[in-house]
Structures are given as C-alpha cells and as structure tokens.
Amino acid sequence: MNDLNRLRKYFIYEDTLRTVVSLVSGIFIVIFNTFSGIVVSYIFAHLIFENYAPNALNVLILIIPGIISGACLLKLCLLLIDVLLTGTEVDNYSYVRLLLLASVSLYLLILILYSLFIIASFLETKFL
C-alpha cells in the first residue's frame, strides 16, 4: 500500500491538466518499455535459435519475456535518471516527463541497434 501512495504522487495533482498529462505520459512509458522489451527478446531469440520465424505463436511466446525485459529497461531508465539528477530537486511532474524522454530515447536506441542487426544479418547471408 505504501508503494501505491508513493507512486500516486507522480500522477495525481490539483490541476486536472497536469493529472491528464501525467497519466498519458505514464501510459506511453509503459508502451515504449514493453515494445522495447519485446524487440530485445526477439533479438535474443533470433541470436539463440538463428532461424527464428516470427509467426503468431512465437510472438505470443515472446510477449511474456518482453514484458519482463521491458520492466528491467524501465528500472534502467529510473536508475539513469536518478544518477543524472543526483543532488538536483526536480518536480514530480517533470520527473515523469524525464522518464518518458529516457524511455523514448532507449526505445529509439534499441530500434537503431535492431536495424543494424538486421542489416548485418542480411549482409552475412548475402555475401557468405
């Protein structure tokens, strides 16, 4: 119960607009970290099983490890923000927006690495 009250301070404000923006930011944080986790799980499955075909059953199997790795990526974003903001007092509203920025940045970094992975595997199969 104490954790919910601590988490609630980031999403409940006296101003309705701030509350709505924080809730939408929280939803986007969850979406970006979940998709990042699914992409990371797919990359690991492709590296381990080499000829991993993304059919419906395999995608459903990747959702659970993807959510778990997305939660780990969220913890990584929280740790990164805490390290960057050491000794700095930040408003709760700004903290949620910084967490969204870190989540989107990590998502884009993972997509760039995934694109490089796809290009490298294509070139490997084409030339070898």
Kindly report, residue by residue over 20-32, the tens digit of the pLDDT.
888 898 899 999 9
Q: Is the pLDDT of residue 65 over 80?
A: yes
Kindly report, residue by residue over 12-56, the tens digit of the pLDDT.
778 888 888 888 988 999 999 999 999 899 888 888 877 667 788
**How much is the pTM?**
0.81
The domain containing residue 92 runs over which residues? 2-127
Number of structural domains the chain divides into: 1
Q: What pLDDT is attached to residue 2?
A: 47
Note whether 37 and 69 are within 8 A (CB).
yes
Tokens (6 digits) for 61: 């199997």
Rounded Cα distance, 57 and 65, in Å: 14
